[in-house]
């Protein structure tokens, strides 16, 4: 499943937590037209690097698909950050 | 199993064995059944495939700032996709990486890694469990890598 939302939690020394909900679905919607516009350039770049553009697209899509359920958390008494991708 | 139990009860009714002996025989029969079930259980039960790779780091308290904790959960699918991404590395870049690795004295050839090997490697990660405990400048650092 493509990740729809990312939740970024930031905590400062005062133990105040700022939670930001990032609607990734909107980001994807914005990036799709850009990706379509840039696709000829990406295609040429892949060929110049001797990489199959179709394979590159496939792997990129798989990475995007697999980002779902990723969780990263770093906690320190002075600050902390947590990123959850849903 | 019911056949054995019936035989015991028949022997009891015929007076060949006493009630105590019958009870002991039935108990032994049930104990034998439960042990055979428990022995067969690990083989018969399908192994659940792990979904995530977890990395946990606990730096411990070094007396200054307090402990730092890192908790990372990466889906196995992302690892698989990452491995496929590594397969896109052009041959020239692989050659450069090989030269750099050899210069470090590591006898390893990246071009020998095939996608099927990497798939196998990811599959074997399910049995991975790494625990590292180290005292570093007075703080105890714990690193744990496992699949769940």
**ipTM, two decimals:** 0.81
Instruction: Judge whether A28 and B47 are in contact, CB under 8 Å.
Output: no
Positive or negative: CA dihedral B83, B89, B93, B98: positive
For A1, nearest residue in chain B (alpha carbons): B77
- What residue ranges do the domains of chain B occupy? 2-44, 52-147
DSSP A21-74: EEEHHHHHHHHHHHHHHHHHHHHHHHHHTT--HHHHHHHHHHHHHHTTT-EEEE
Rg (CA), chain A: 17
Render each residue's pLDDT in chain B as its tens digit; 148 residues: 567 777 777 777 777 777 777 777 777 777 665 555 555 554 545 567 788 889 998 887 766 677 889 999 999 888 888 878 877 887 788 888 889 988 988 888 877 777 677 677 777 777 777 888 777 666 788 888 888 8
- Residue B87 near residue B115 (C-beta atoms within 8 A): yes
User: From the CA atom positions of chain B, what is the Rg in Å?
Assistant: 29
Quick one: pLDDT band at residue A10, thresholds 50, 70, 90? very high
CA distance A30 to chain B (A): 23
Chain A residues with at least one Cβ partner in B under 8 Å: 49-52, 55-56, 58-59, 62-63, 65-78
pLDDT in tens, A18-69: 999 999 999 899 999 999 999 999 999 988 888 888 988 998 898 999 998 8
Q: What residue in B sits closest to A48 (Cα-Cα)?
A: B90
């Amino acid at each position: 499943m493509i990740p729809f939302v990312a939740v970024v939690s930031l905590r400062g020394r005062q133990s105040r937590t700022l939670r930001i909900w990032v609607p990734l679905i909107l980001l994807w919607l914005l990036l799709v037209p850009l990706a379509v516009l840039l696709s000829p350039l990406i295609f040429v770049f892949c060929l110049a690097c001797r990489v199959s553009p179709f394979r590159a697209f496939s792997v990129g899509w798989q990475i995007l698909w697999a980002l779902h359920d990723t969780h990263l958390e770093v906690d320190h008494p002075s600050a902390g950050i947590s990123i959850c991708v849903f | 199993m019911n056949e054995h139990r019936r035989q015991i009860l028949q022997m009891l009714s015929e007076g060949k064995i006493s009630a105590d002996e019958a009870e002991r025989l039935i108990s032994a029969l049930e104990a034998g059944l439960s042990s055979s079930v428990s022995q067969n259980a690990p083989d018969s039960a399908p192994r659940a495939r792990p979904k995530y790779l977890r990395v946990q780091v606990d730096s411990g308290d070094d007396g200054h700032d307090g402990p730092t904790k890192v908790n990372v959960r990466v889906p196995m699918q992302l690892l698989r996709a990452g491995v496929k991404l590594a397969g896109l590395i052009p041959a020239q870049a692989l050659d450069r990486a090989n030269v750099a690795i050899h210069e470090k004295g590591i006898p390893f050839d990246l071009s020998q890694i095939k996608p099927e090997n990497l798939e196998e490697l990811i599959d074997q990660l399910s049995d991975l469990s790494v625990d590292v405990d180290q005292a570093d400048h007075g703080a105890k650092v714990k690193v744990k890598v496992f699949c769940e």
